[in-house]
Amino acid sequence: MSIFLLLTFISSNCQVGIGTTTPRGILDLNSPIESNLGLVLPANLSPTNIVNPQGDTVAEGTMIYDSTDKCVKYFNGTSWSECLEENSTGSGSALDDSSVVVECSGGFSGNFIKETALSEATYQVTITNNSFYTAKLNFQPNDLEVSGVSGIEVSSVSPTTINLEPEASQIITYSLSGTPQEHGDLTATWNNRILSCTSTVNIGEVVNESVKKLVRVAYYARFSIGSIQFPAFNSQLNNPVNYGRTGTHKGDFDGFSFTDITSTLSNLTVDQLINSYDIISIGYSHLSINDAAKVKQYVDAGGIAIIKLDNNMGTSLLNAFGGTGSVTSGRATPATLTNSHEINNGIFGNATNVQLFGFASSGRVLTSQLADDSEVLGTQGNVAQVFLTGQDNRAIFFWDEGVFRNSRVSGNIINTPQEIALHNYISYMLRKKVL
């Protein structure tokens, strides 16, 4: 106590100086420049725990160190501030203008059903830094507010801190928990400093599993929609936010089922295929001439075919649908470029003039080899990379199965240009079946 008295000076005007006899304000903490001691603020797990010992609201200007968010915060008389720290490096601030943008349309993921506990339900926000500076942002669960349906809460967020470099993007994932108590629209409102966005998902009524209506997909060979080699794309199909009664593509169905017909196609009749499957997906394979003709007859009878070519692979199918010559070996670069066909600008967004990327080997078919009624959706010079053909354009060909498993297809949210293009194509084909 005697040391404290020697270092402390109180003036007649009630100014307090520590380390100085001439305080320059109501409180002046002073020490020699060479001192290795700093000011330690009171710390707490959350500003909401702070109280005014006089019994009133917390005094305006109160400061603490938030030990959860690892930063200093102050009370402005109404609410606690965000972290007091630099937003960016360089001569400007990345958050001073609209250069840092946020996207959260379609941010919900999981099954949202009345009176059914949420399981692995999340809400994702994508932040993109279009500035010249590095943006530092902190996140906490209360950034996200959910309303409209009771019983749901935001339980956690990951990551909690990012240093976002110029031209980089980062997905922030908020975990949701609880049990929706009503049927209706669940609205998510996200705010973080000057950034904000909102989106909605519909909480569905309870669906009887035994009477679920599914889009029936039959797949042939590996590396095909429905096969284990396409986990991300398959999960995007079965995300109710994307497809179904309340999805972006709204239809009278509750999801997709996948059946392997690799060993049975040759023994099935066209009528059996029509009665059992809405879509046939052909993967990495040398399909026989007879089976290729059967797929063509299936399309003529009203079915949908999604066909993936590859290196010197798929000639029988090309010829069955009226194409000439052979499928040869394709090139990995340059990437496929979509065109201005109206299908590219579909329900999942505008994927006009975007690049699509395959994976490893690929097939090659010139536009001059296509049947006269074909419609090209994407090219690589004079090579037709994505095209529609067959009866009422119910068959779609891709130059490479790898377009569905490239790294630009990930998770169960549709948000990359490649994902948007692919799902615009799927949506178009589903409408052909009135699904």
What are the sequence ranges of the domains in the chain? 2-74, 100-203, 209-432
> Range with the lowest mean pLDDT among 209-218, 298-307, 339-348, 401-410?
209-218
Residues contacting 405, CB < 8 A, separation 6+? 223, 229, 230, 232, 233, 359
CA–CA separation, 329 vs 366, rounded Å?
A: 11
Strand pairing category for 345-346 and 349-350: antiparallel
Residues contacting 77, CB < 8 A, separation 6+? 60
Residues contacting 293, CB < 8 A, separation 6+? 320
CA–CA separation, 7 vs 17, rounded Å?
A: 8
Q: What percent of the chain has pLDDT over 90?
A: 50
What is the DSSP secondary structure assignment for residue 266, as one 8-state letter?
G
CATH number assigned to the domain with residue range 100-203, chosen from the 4 options 2.60.40.10, 3.90.120.10, 3.40.630.10, 1.10.10.10: 2.60.40.10
Would you state the pLDDT for residue 92? 44
pTM here? 0.56
* One-letter amino acid of 148: G
pLDDT tens-digit map of 323-374: 999 999 998 778 999 999 999 999 999 999 999 999 888 999 999 999 999 9
Q: Do domains 100-203 and 209-432 have the same CATH topology?
A: no
Handedness of CA 217, 222, 227, 232 (dihedral sign): negative
CB 131 within 8 A of CB 137: no
CA–CA separation, 383 vs 389, rounded Å?
A: 15
Would you state the pLDDT for residue 91? 39
Would you state the pLDDT for residue 356? 95
For 209-432, which CATH class? alpha beta
Residues contacting 335, CB < 8 A, separation 6+? 355, 356, 357, 380
CA–CA separation, 229 vs 401, rounded Å?
A: 10
Would you state the pLDDT for residue 272? 94
Query: Which position has the token pair 């340059």?
Result: 334
pLDDT tens-digit map of 36-68: 677 788 888 888 888 888 888 888 888 888 888
pLDDT tens-digit map of 219-252: 999 999 998 899 999 999 999 999 998 899 999 8
pLDDT tens-digit map of 3-32: 444 455 555 556 676 777 776 656 666 666
